Amino acid sequence: MYRSQQLFYFMKPSDKDPIKLRLQVFLSRNGVCSRRQAMDIIKEGRVKFNGQICREPSAPVDSSRDHVFVDGKRVQVKRYDYVLLNKPAGYTTTKFDRHAQKTVLNLLPRKFRHLSSVGRLDRDTEGLLLLTNDGDAAYQLTHPKFNVDKTYFARVSGNLEMDKRKKVESGVVLDGKRTAPAKIKKVKPLKNVTELMITIHEGRKRQVRFMFSKVGHRVIYLKRLIQGPLVLGALKKGEWRLLNQQEIEGLKKM
């Protein structure tokens, strides 16, 4: 075992060490290559970490202090922006929809026009939408294999009976494939409508709307409140804010 490798076995990132990234992730986050390729170039001994060759992909890197070189070239730390928007209805999340009248980027200052939405919300859906240029964070939040919870407040037509609720929770078939188990809470029957919270971890197109329509209920209003470690909180409709350091670290720890 290499000396540098030995050292890093005792320096695995921990919860108390939140701003450190694994070397492999550090390389992909900073645009050197993909995570898969990063694994290879680290193992090939092409990466120097604070002056020493490092063959340990999980070596913890503190980007504010450590120096990483690949093939003799310093890796520049990329600047990422994370904007959390309370999307109002009537705006599309897709950047390049030529037919869209209004996209969520219209709600942000010009300096954020390079950002992409993380996952999509339907035009009629409101609520939490993250926009970032951090592809890794976007991947972690949206790829089905990570099972990231998303919680929505929904108002559906009619009175949602227990059997229908159970059907939605245990999964309905959409496009020939059953949806993963969902959790419905805080069910409040009102006059002609039911309000509730639903948590899903997939991101299929118009999923919540289709799940309820499968059991005979129309979604009248839908708002995303939570996505993984992010919570919409008191942000007003159409307003945005930058993620704070704790939230960014929450994303990195995912």
| Interface region with ligand URA, contact rule CB under 6 A, candidates 1-9, 97-105, 158-166, 207-215 | 207-215
Pick one of 207, 217, 223, 243: the residue that binds ligand URA (CB under 6 A): 207
The mark string for 118-137 relative to ligand URA (x by CB under 6 A, - otherwise) is: ---xx--x------------
| Interface region with ligand URA, contact rule CB under 6 A, candidates 26-34, 43-51, 161-169, 205-213 | 205-213
Cβ neighbour number for residue 40 with a 10 Å cutoff = 13
Q: By CB under 6 A, tell whether 208 contacts ligand URA.
A: yes
Give 75 or 193: the residue with its C-beta nearer to ligand URA. Answer: 193
- What does the alpha-carbon distance between residue 252 and residue 34 come to, in Å, rounded to a whole number? 16
- What does the alpha-carbon distance between residue 115 and residue 132 come to, in Å, rounded to a whole number? 5
Pick one of 165, 209, 217, 223: the residue that binds ligand URA (CB under 6 A): 209
- What does the alpha-carbon distance between residue 55 and residue 42 come to, in Å, rounded to a whole number? 5
**Which parts of the chain fold into alpha helices (H)?**
3-9, 23-29, 35-43, 135-142, 162-170, 207-214, 245-252
Active-site residue identified among 66, 81, 122, 124: 122
Give 8 or 212: the residue with its C-beta nearer to ligand URA. Answer: 212
- Rounded (to 5) percent helix, strand, coil in the chain: 25, 30, 45
- What does the alpha-carbon distance between residue 149 and residue 145 come to, in Å, rounded to a whole number? 12
Active site residue 175: no
The tokens for 85 are: 């928007």
Q: By CB under 6 A, tell whether 184 contacts ligand URA.
A: no
- In whole angstroms, the minimum distance from the beta carbon of 209 to ligand URA comes to 4
- In whole angstroms, the minimum distance from the beta carbon of 210 to ligand URA comes to 7
Beta-bridged to residue 219, according to DSSP, are 156
44 neighbors 90 (Cβ within 8 angstroms): no
Q: By CB under 6 A, tell whether 202 contacts ligand URA.
A: no
Count of residues that bind ligand URA according to CB under 6 A:
8
Residues that bind ligand URA (CB under 6 A): 121-122, 125, 206-209, 222
Catalytic positions, written as ranges: 122
